[in-house]
Structure 1
Amino acid sequence: MGLFAAVAIASSPAMATPCTNLQSLQLQHTTINSATDNTSGTFVAPGSAPITGLPAFCRVTATLTPSSDSSIKIELWLPESGWNGRFLGTGGGGFQGVINYAELSSGLRAGFAATNTDLGTGSSGCNPLYCGSDGNMGNPLAIAFGDPAAPSTGLFGHPERIKDFGYRAIHGMTVRGKEIANAFYGQKAQKAYFAGCSTGGQNALMEAQRFPDDYDGILAGAPAFNRTHLHMAGLYGWQDTHASSGRLIQPGQMTLINQAVLKQCVGRDGGTSTDQFLTDPRDCHFDPKVLQCTGGQVPPACLTPDQVTTMQKYYAGTIDPVNGQVINPGPARGTETDDVLALGLAFQEQLPEPAFDGLFYWVFGPSFGYPASAVNFANFDFHHAIDTVDDQLAAVLNANSSDLGEFREHGGKLIMYHGWADPLIPSQSSINYFNALVGNDSHGVQQASFTANGNPALQRTQSYARLYMVPGMYHCSGGPGPNTFDALTPLVNWVENGVAPESLVATKFVNDTPPAVQMTRPLCVYPKVAKYTGSGSTSIAANFTCVADENDFNQTPAPKYGP
């Protein structure tokens, strides 16, 4: 009898819960793959260390199929108690292809109903760095960063998946995510927010432009909004360093260059003379030629003439060699780093082909990976081939519109931020986009010249959109400056209480690891900059004030290549 009782108990179905009941939810173009309660406090993400300290939540996985060739994976993490009544869409980086569990767990801990998506590229074998490549060719760095062993075509031949990546996956995640959350809680979220950096920043601006009613508040960090031309910049930089063996920057030389930049410019652009980063690199006109070897000097203690050329082209940006037009602005002074994790020149030049050239496989197919083909990563023509790429991809991938009128009228608020030391996406790009917003609010002026006060168009733009430049921060995080800050809470306060943030406080932790604080510094609303008051510790944000900056030169692309 005991045996039969044990069998009966083991065979009885688990008791349904509000979470597991979501598996029967019927939504358009959607399959609910799973809905499970997690009360363990831990989540083990595939291939990652366990995420601990989590509140009880309902985990929902689903697949969206807005087209017959789509397979968009989404996840929702829904707090089972302590929900703050808000919905949070989150982004990721690069070509995505995976769910960003760090973003989900962060949103969950803050009380949001949080969601994330693989952008529909996971079904094509994509990962954040690679979505089409000629394989790692045995290169250790490429292997370490997940370049597939064998060539892959990315999204070539899948125009519907390209649309998913460009804008449809995030919108679908948002619409279906809200419906699932509504079913779970029995009520709609009071407000909806989106937060993302890099590709997540592109997603953020695409939402504001294409789907202005999806979110009440949007946080866009280092947005890859001008995507086709940004990826061309990666190709351009790779070709620059590989033009000859003498053009490569040797290990340690990026640090040498950075130290020379700081010696010449630090403290002259705001900030203080003891900073290890630049506050506004546009005021720095460092020429790497000052490091050219003389007398008996030899690299790596100095630069050869070829290496000087490499760095001059690095700062100059991506240029059409025929007409001299700017295709994409160059990285700022102060972005020089030997840290390959920053995804800058030191990373790019060590790879057998450009890290983010997968985008061009989507246009030219697998032949792009072979130097014998007519168009490939080594011979891409920055005069003739640009239109070929843009004709196929720009309208789907580039979030270049400066008209956010519908988002503004909806009551939406936008906060942008970008690290001044970002070696992957030029910080100038975010300034150019924000200036384009001001220009649009000036009734059609393409680029605005303004000071912090007395410009009606600037004031109108800042009533719904604000930009914060982060001194010394690499791409989305890291770097020698104060690189940790909370922009989501001020965004919520702006949306719900009408309090626009004049500045944010950023922290630099010792070794970038809490809790020991090395310094704090205000992030001023652009175009203001932080200036030391002259008394007190330079490591304390309260001893700085945000002041109007002079008009600086802004390198902008030719109009046809975006703001």
Structure 2
Amino acid sequence: MHRAYLVGAGSGLLALFALASTPAAASPCTNLQTLNLVHTTITSATDVTGGTFTPPGAAPITGLPPFCRVTATLTPTADSNIKIEVWLPENNWNGRFLGTGGGGFQGVITYSELAIGIQTGYATANTDLGTGTAGCNPLFCGSDGNQGNQLAAAFGDPATPSTGLFGHPERIKDFGYRAIHLMTVRGKEVVKAFYPQGANRAYFAGCSTGGQNALMEAQRFPRDYDGIVAGAAAFNRTHLHMGALSLWQDAHASATRFILPAQMPVINKAVIAQCVGQDGGAKTDQFLTDPRDCRFDPKVLQCKGGEVPPACLTPDQVTTMRNYYVGTVDPVTKEIVVPGVALGAETDNVLALGLVLSEELPEPAFDGLFYWVYGASFGIPTSPTNFANFDFHHDIKTVDTQLEAVLNATSTDLSEFREHGGKLLMYHGWADPLLPSQESINYFNALVRDGRGFAQPARFGLDDPALRETQSYARLFMAPGMYHCSGGPGPNTFDALTPLVNWVEKGVAPETILATKFVNDTPAQGVQMTRPLCLFPKVAKYNGSGSTSVAANFTCVADEHDFNEMPAPQYGP
């Protein structure tokens, strides 16, 4: 689903596993095996010098510089079991520490992040967030078992029921905020022990759960990092999982509510045809630059005369799609709990983790969070509260009471992070089918709103003092046509870390980030197009001449104020 800072390269939810290397003769690396750190057991310290690291069941990671691989287990509480790895370039270290995130419930080390980090000169760390010991993997951390569903099994759903972190409050804290902080503290200590001196700067980069980790670090541990990249941040954790649960319930309300995979491209084509070019970009784009400018009712695709699906939608399918765009709503108060998915995010690609995947699974992929509250009963259809009957009026409070304070990174108080010179760079794909792209805008707008002292959001122009003040330490870039952290029809590969480093170390704040779309999303097949990602709230507009595949032919311009769907105040910014 992502590379946390070189976006568009792989999948955090489909994270790789790695083989342990064979211990070698004593060296500065192997000497780290005796390093004594608080609540830490160094389980291995080995030199990896062959240029290749081969994860089991996956292709080798090649092109690696010689590095020292350190693995450790952290036990801050009796019930904690946090795995971390720190990879240390043995030559050409750039003097910086890089913490990296993963996806979903994690449960594994994301080796692709470690590899990219050392390839670009960083001493790099990653963690399983302490959920691996409970049998969790990126998509599942509690479930009723895959019930024989092949797709569920392929995505890692265990064959037998599990309760994830139910009954383990300390492991929930590890997942929510403690593991990533301790990975950072212990990782820096390993760096200091290996090199002549410690890191002179520290950065963090993550997307999805990694984005949640990023904002949690800025809020709870503001001095851990000098600069933070937060992509498609799952910061409003409990409510985002409710959104996924609501989506599953809605699509499974009856067999007639299902959207066929073949219908998703039909819907997307209709959305693009109606709205492309109205929001900046170019009229030839196959994606929307700012979907908030689009007005589309799926009823225009309702079957007429002799038409039949998948070329059109039945009335029940129209209802499914309308609800998809509206989001999760309290059925009694009609308040928004989670915004809906943006127009233009319709896809039949199950790896994009959207509606099609949700429909194909016997229960929601991300409902493990509710097993942490209700235990095994959440997977039993006859239980008072289960994945099929969760009540979005009565049951939200039960979940929030237990988990909200630990998991939700919704605070907008970044004063200490800002005061020590910290910089935050956020990004989000406009075509994200999993995590509503409006959420990142809502968080950024809340930073601006709080800077103005307003209780409610207000319109602001580019010359608004509160906006300029917020952008002095926090900047947001929306990526048109990008799915959840990577992929999608738009330019979806870009380097967000280098602009952040230049901002922190040279005082050069990024105004644009160059994004690339490779042919078939494969760099070896060549560049299909480039496009500037603009500093929010600006949008990229075609200059009117030259190829629309070349970024230089677009200019970032002021956008009119657009309505951004927000949850009710009690459900987050």
Interval containing the TM-score (normalised by the shorter chain): over 0.9
One-letter code aligned to 1:188: G
Question: What does residue 479 of structure 2 align with?
Answer: 470
Structure 1 residue 144, shift from structure 2 partner: 1.0
Between stretches 456-465 and 15-24, larger displacement belongs to: 15-24
Q: In the alignment, what sits opposite 2:568? A: 558
Q: Which residue of 2 aligns with 1:119?
A: 129
Tell me the C-alpha RMSD between the 2 structures: 0.9
Partner of 1:499: 508
**Kept after mapping to 2: 8 A contact 1:193/1:217:** yes
1:456 paired to 2:428 = no
Write the distance in 1 (CA, Å) between the matches of 2:84 and 2:260: 42
Please report how far the alpha carbon of residue 233 of structure 1 lies from its aligned counterpart in structure 2 after TM superposition. 0.3
Supply the distance in 2 between the matched residues of 1:509 and 1:332 (Cα, whole angstroms).
23
Runs of at least 5 residues in structure 1 that lack an aligned partner in the other structure = 1-12
The CA deviation string for residues 430-458 of structure 1, in whole angstroms up to 9 with x for no partner, is: 0000000111111244424212x220000
CA contact (8 A) 2:250 2:320 kept: yes
- Tell me the TM-score normalised to structure 1 length: 0.97
Question: 2:72 aligns to what?
Answer: 62
Other-structure match for 2:14: none
Q: Which residue of 1 aligns with 2:42?
A: 32
Match of 1:483 among 492, 495, 498: 492
CA distance in 1 between partners of 2:307 and 2:49 (Å): 64
* 1:206-285 equivalences in 2 (<5 Å): 206-285=216-295
| CA distance in 1 between partners of 2:354 and 2:53 (Å) | 32
**Aligned 1:409-420 pairs, distance under 5 A:** 409-420=419-430
Of residues 284, 296, 300, the one that matches 2:310 is: 300
> Shift in Å at residue 166 of structure 1?
0.1
1:110 matched to 2:123? The reply is: no
Residue 397 of structure 2 corresponds to 387
CA distance in structure 1 between the partners assigned to 2:466 and 2:44 by the alignment: 49
**Where does 1:117-516 land on structure 2 (aligned, <5 Å)?**
117-451=127-461, 453-515=462-524, 516=526
Q: 1:14: how far off?
A: 6.1
- In structure 1, what is the Cα distance between the partners aligned to 2:510 and 2:455? 26
- Tell me the equivalent position of 1:10: none
The structure 1 residue matched to 2:55, chosen from 24, 41, 45, is 45
What corresponds to 1:100 in structure 2? 110
Separation of aligned partners in 2, 1:253 and 1:520: 29
For the residue of structure 1 that corresponds to 2:94, the secondary structure is coil
Task: Output the CA distance in 2 between the equivalents of 1:405 and 1:476.
Answer: 27
- Contact 1:438/1:448, CA 8 A, preserved across alignment: no
Higher relative contact order structure (alpha carbons within 8 Å, sequence separation ≥ 6)? 2
Offset of residue 40 of structure 1: 1.1
For residues 387 and 341 of structure 2, the distance between their equivalents in structure 1, rounded to whole angstroms, comes to 21
SS of the counterpart of 1:489? helix
> 1:545 aligned to 2:548?
no
SS at match of 1:349: helix
> SS in structure 2 opposite 1:365?
helix
Conserved in 1, the CA contact under 8 Å of 2:24 and 2:30? no
Aligned partner of 1:518 in structure 2 is: 528
What is the aligned-residue identity percentage?
A: 76
Of 21, 26, 30, the residue aligned with 2:31 is: 21
CA drift of 1:298 comes to 1.0
C-alpha distance after superposition, 1:269-320 (max 9, x if no partner) = 1111100000000001100000001111111111000000000000001000
CA-CA distance at 1:15 after TM superposition: 4.0
Q: Kindly provide the amino acid, as one letter, of the partner of residue 479 in structure 1.
A: G
- Distance apart, 1:186 and its partner CA: 2.6
Q: State the secondary structure of the residue aligned to 2:253.
A: coil
Partner amino acid, structure 2, of 1:543: N
CA distance in 2: counterparts of 1:321 and 1:14, whole angstroms:
62
Partner letter of residue 476 of structure 1?
Answer: C
